[in-house]
Chain A
Amino acid sequence: MDRVPPRVLSAAVGIAVLALWELLARTVYAGSYRLSPPTAVVADFFEYRDLYLRNLWHSTKTAAWGFLWGNLAAIALAGVASIMPVLRRSIGAVALTIFCLPFIAVAPILRLITGPGNGTPITLSALAVFFTTYVAALLGFDTAPGSALDVVRSFGRGRFSAFRRVRLRASVPAMIAGLQIAAPAAFLGAVVGEFTGARSGLGILTVRALGALHTDRIWVIALLSTIVATGGYMVIGALGRRLCPWAPALDVGAVPTARQEPGLLNRLAALAAPIIVVFVFWYAFLWVFQIKPFFAKTPFDVWAELFTNADAAETRSLVFGALGTTLWTTSLGYVAGLIGAVVTAVVFILIPWLERALMPIAVALRSIPIIVTTPVIILFVGRGLLTTTAIVAVMSFFPTLVNCYAAMNRTPGGILDVLKSYDAGSAANVRNAYLPTAVPALLASARIAVPTSLLGATVAEWLATGDGIGAVMVIAFTRNDYNVLWVSVAVLTLVAVIGYWLVAAFELRTLERVAPGVSR
């Protein structure tokens, strides 16, 4: 097995999977509306080629506009944060809050502003790329060599010159890595935007197909989305290798958390500033777009709805009860995906030929916005609590597997030699070397996974399961109950932000112990 070239192995595995898929679909799942055989998927695509291509083109165009605006905004704000470090924490807080928004529930609110057209999917697509590009651009600006910055400063030039002449150039590799992640994310934003209503596009086509139990169509759309999203990822990756071949591959998802300044006052300021900035943005958003009070809810409205209104207790029990369900199914899914990923990574480390055969597939699947394929999972698993868990598990599995394996693979050879010289077995190697080495990567993955898992869960709940906070939001939306909708969005975003920071704080503490010098 060790002699077979990886490409051949991967191709063989791919063909085997397709064959098994075809077989299962034609036998076990025949007539079950769950699994379409690959041949039927291809046939359906060609039969309705015009329909698919028209909608695919529409979604791609939407994603491209979102990609453009979202990235421009992110890079510009990262530039501002780099030139004016005072603003860094506040801009970062807004970026994180955007990342933590439950997009699917934001769509109906956005639609109030943008009208029924394409504005909402474009905006969501822009929002979906914002955070990762912001983090990547800022990381790029920060990696500028200090000596070069000193040279600019020694000529009496200020921060702006340093930014223009040194930082902008130095940021290119990180920026490309960020844009690479942004490509599938933009497509995800567009499709999620279309899930909640659009005239055309793959998202709305999916929702209609789900309603009609048009199994083949759902599979075709999932595959098309996968191909386009992965294609964007690969094209930008290839472009990056062409533009700056010297740059090492960079995983923006694994960027370590920034270290906190010590001191209680600093910590309080660090906590207060972002919250104030987010509230200012909230008001500005309502004011700029002049949304009618029936639709627009301020932070005080949300507070009143939750705590002081006559029906506050009712709202609370509705929202927090549903939130409990969502958090439970989401955590269950995340932990399942995490355990699966770690076990698989260990197996890959111990059985290299298996890794060579399967890893390329995992790497390709990692770039897929799994949320786009939610309808397929809904079909396959059914419409129950398990659906949410399954989607979150699949979402967390691939990125965690790839990051975890990459980290384990970087275990220093010297450590493995020492272990080998004492005749340590596989178990001892895994326990003493591979697993601890993977901890930083696992924590970085976990941090990013908090918002994305919640997004996946709410999409599943919105589209299918009828449970959890996603269902509360879709019911509120259809009943024009904007109070509950805003409350749900606010609570969910807050939970995601808190979750993100809890993991980040834990990560910082662990890194100081486990891998000192990694955190910035």
Chain B
Amino acid sequence: MARRGAPVDVVGVGRTFALGGGEVEALRGLDMHVPAGGFSALIGPSGCGKSTALRLVAALDEPDEGTIDMDGASPDQMRRGQRIGVAFQDPSLLPWRTVSTNIRLALELVGRRHDTAAVSDLIELVGLQGFEKARPAQLSGGMRQRVAIARSLVTEPDLLLLDEPFGALDALTRQQLNDELQRIWTARGTTTILVTHSIPEAVYAADDVLVMSPRPGRVVAQHAIEFGRPRTKELLLTDEFHAKVEAVSASLHRSEGQVVQLEADDS
């Protein structure tokens, strides 16, 4: 299927937060490029500004310096054009809505309330058939994340921004959802940025892994991941995969300049 979506160019972006009288410089000189229809993973130590970077691209926040350009549009223009889909670690579903009306929320907001076919397609795509009428409280964590992903996709955005969408899940569910994410991305070909702190997850999912430095964050290394698609679980067992994970891990080490503290659930 043809690649679609907008390329993302981030040049020299900096962002500083005021915090309890002092200042915290979250990002300084962040440069990154995601080609149209590409899948980039953003990885780095805790608190390096990954999420801040994603929020800037989503126009949920504004940079203090630098520019972000998407095919000639600013993030805010993209947001106002309703061309962005987001999913965060917290699924942020509306507890009073059902699975299908939660997904429909995005359509309502972009003025396509009656596109029921899109909703049922997405429910099928994320494997939630039979749960259309369920409310978030009745679902497992993994199912809620599927709803959030479906909601982010239902408007057919030109840019999909995922901030650790599977961060709170167990390893098995996480792998399952990564497989599905890959399938969805292959089917739709939307430009995607995935923030994660799991190296294997990044290597498994992305075309490019961008490694960030500790705060103030910037991209210090870029690894092209050239495994073919569709990628399957068998890939996880190959030496090539391990070598790639090692390489990314090494540059993450170097980026920190110190002992790297990887989370235990990375493997």
Q: List the interface of chain A (C-beta within 8 A of B).
A: 412, 414-415, 417-424, 428, 432-433, 436, 439, 513-517
Contact = CB atoms under 8 A, between A and B. Distances in A.
Interface in B50-97: 55, 58-60, 79-82, 84-86, 88, 90-96
A309 B118 CA distance: 69
Contacts of A422: 79, 82, 84, 106, 109-110, 155
Q: Is the interface of B mostly helix, strand, loop or mixed?
A: loop
Contacts of B91: 414
B105 interface: yes
Contacts of B106: 422
Contact of B92 (A415, A516, A517): A415
B79 A412 contact: no
A341 to B, nearest CB: 21
B111 to A, nearest CB: 10
A417 B108 CA distance: 16
A429 to B, nearest CB: 10
Nearest to B136: A516
Chain B interface residue number, banded: 20 to 34
A412 B92 contact: yes
Contacts of A414: 88, 90-92
B60 A421 contact: yes
Contacts of B187: none
B151 interface: yes
Given A417-B55, A421-B59, A516-B95, 17 more contacts: A412-B92, A414-B91, A418-B86, A419-B109, A421-B58, A422-B109, A422-B110, A423-B80, A423-B109, A428-B109, A432-B105, A436-B94, A513-B135, A514-B95, A515-B96, A516-B135, A516-B138
- Shortest beta-carbon contacts, A-B, top 3: A414-B92, A516-B137, A422-B109
Nearest to B80: A423
Interface in B192-234: none
Interface in B101-116: 105-106, 108-110
Nearest to A423: B80
Contacts of B58: 417, 421
Contact of B86 (A412, A417, A428, A515): A417
A423 B74 CA distance: 14
Contacts of A418: 86, 92, 105, 151
Q: Count chain B CB atoms within 10 A of each CB in A417, A421, A515 and give the residue with the most.
A: A421
Contacts of A412: 90, 92
A148 B256 CA distance: 44
Contacts of A517: 137
B137 to A, nearest CB: 4
B135 A417 contact: no
Interface string B153-196: 00100000000000000000000000000000000000000000
Given A421-B84, A513-B135, A433 B60 contact: no
B55 to A, nearest CB: 8
B154 to A, nearest CB: 11
A516 B138 CA distance: 9
